[in-house]
Structure 1
């Protein structure tokens, strides 16, 4: 593992803005859990979904400052950035352009979530819409969607189109069942995964096991491949954000 530690690009640790961390104390404990798992860089991704999670970005940013404060108390090598898990809708591009929603750390990367029963045509259309508008879509936890889970050729089609695929740490190590674990292993075998996230929400039912997932991938694939998923690809998000900021 790189000395800079691993990255978690999908987690719900901003307190009081979605169904993740409930308060500052829980956020501190979640961050400590992440740090102990070997994470040194986090992109926090609060949900945005119409009629479910519509916390204004101003409020999210305000709460995000608490996350940065808590991380600084844990270690000066602990870096936290703000992103969003954006539930796909027809207003995505407009909302991103008008600053109603943040991308991943201010980069061109966008973490896009779909419903479990979303049709393949809708997934493809929404990801293509982001691509055509200059964004770099990351499809969140693709092991949850019937359209991707039942058709690995469709996943390959999305990747060939230019989209990126993310899977969850718990899915890799078998916490979501053997079938899901086997599917994730198949995705990795065919090089159809670009990112892994903890998708942690709380201290009980949805904790961070991303360090365990890194160790599993290192053992089953190899360390170079694990570094590719958990360090090198996430690093590109921050590099893109820096480049975009300098323009």
Structure 2
């Protein structure tokens, strides 16, 4: 006896090689809450390659209260990682930038041109997850005056913007690019963050997709959810990932 209801067919897993590049990760060993040693870094890069990525922009935290990294400390650790990566013969390109927390130290770094950008002039930064910062317009102006393109990390994780896309629209109108974490679509950060990521996708307000990978388990989780429809919807957007 045939069911009166047609069973919904499972989608094939989305092909992450379409993205090619990841713009947000924490692979450099021992300098933030990401990879803690070189073996962990190489393990993640091996998994990235297996998922179809060929280029990784790794973005360690720069946050004066928790991870007071400097351009020198980041590039020194990055060069150690490159030396180890070369020994593996793994065919994947790794570039370095940073993820800056919006605080006074970040503003000073912008003023002093002491900022690690990617794709020439893109700068990744983040806000507090729970309290909207003051001075956002000033930050945007300062970055743009210095010739940088602002990229706001994981917009869907800022609780004070939930339930609406108007702030994302407003920031994009001012020249800020919106980056969404792929694992937000798996529910990794919770159902409300997943819903906000889906809302941004539905409204075509996502410019960049990133993993924000801190450990190999994040990539394994991502791999196990790639049949979900919103991964297909996300990759069908006109993402900047395809052009950098």
Q: TM-score, normalised by structure 1?
A: 0.80
The worse-fitting range, judged by mean Cα deviation, of 32-41 and 129-138 is: 129-138
Matched, 1:160 2:173: yes
User: 8 Å contact 1:196–1:229 — kept in the other structure?
Assistant: yes
Q: Which runs of 5+ in 2 are unaligned?
A: 1-14
1:42 correspondence with 2:56 = yes
Question: For structure 1, which runs of at least 5 residues remain unmatched after alignment?
Answer: 236-247
CA, structure 1 residues 215+209, in 2 after alignment: closer, same or farther (shift >3 Å)? same
**TM-fit CA distance, 1:202:** 2.0
CA-CA distance at 1:217 after TM superposition: 6.1
Structure with greater helix share of residues: 1
**Which one of 215, 223, 226 corresponds to residue 202 of structure 1?**
215
What are the within-5 Å matches in structure 2 for residues 122-137 of structure 1? 122-137=135-150
Q: How does 1:88-99 map to 2 (within 5 A)?
A: 88-96=102-110, 98-99=112-113
Change (3 A) 1:26 1:44: same
| Mapping of residues 119-198 of structure 1, within 5 Å | 119=132, 121-198=134-211
Aligned residue number for residue 52 of structure 1:
66
Aligned residues: 229
The 2-side partners of 1:3 and 1:200 are apart by 16
Alignment partner, residue 13 of structure 1? 27
Q: Secondary structure, in 3 states, of the residue corresponding to 1:39?
A: coil
- Relative to 1, partners in 2 of residues 1:56 and 1:103: Cα closer, same or farther, differing over 3 Å? same
Relative to structure 1, the CA distance from residue 6 to residue 93 in structure 2 (aligned partners, 3 Å threshold; closer, same or farther) is: same
CA distance in 2, matches of 1:219, 1:147: 24
* Larger Rg computed on CA atoms: 2
The DSSP-based 3-state class of the residue aligned with 1:192 is coil
1:97: Cα distance to partner?
A: 5.1
Displacement of 1:215 = 6.0
- RMSD over aligned CA atoms reads 2.7
TM-score (norm 2): 0.81
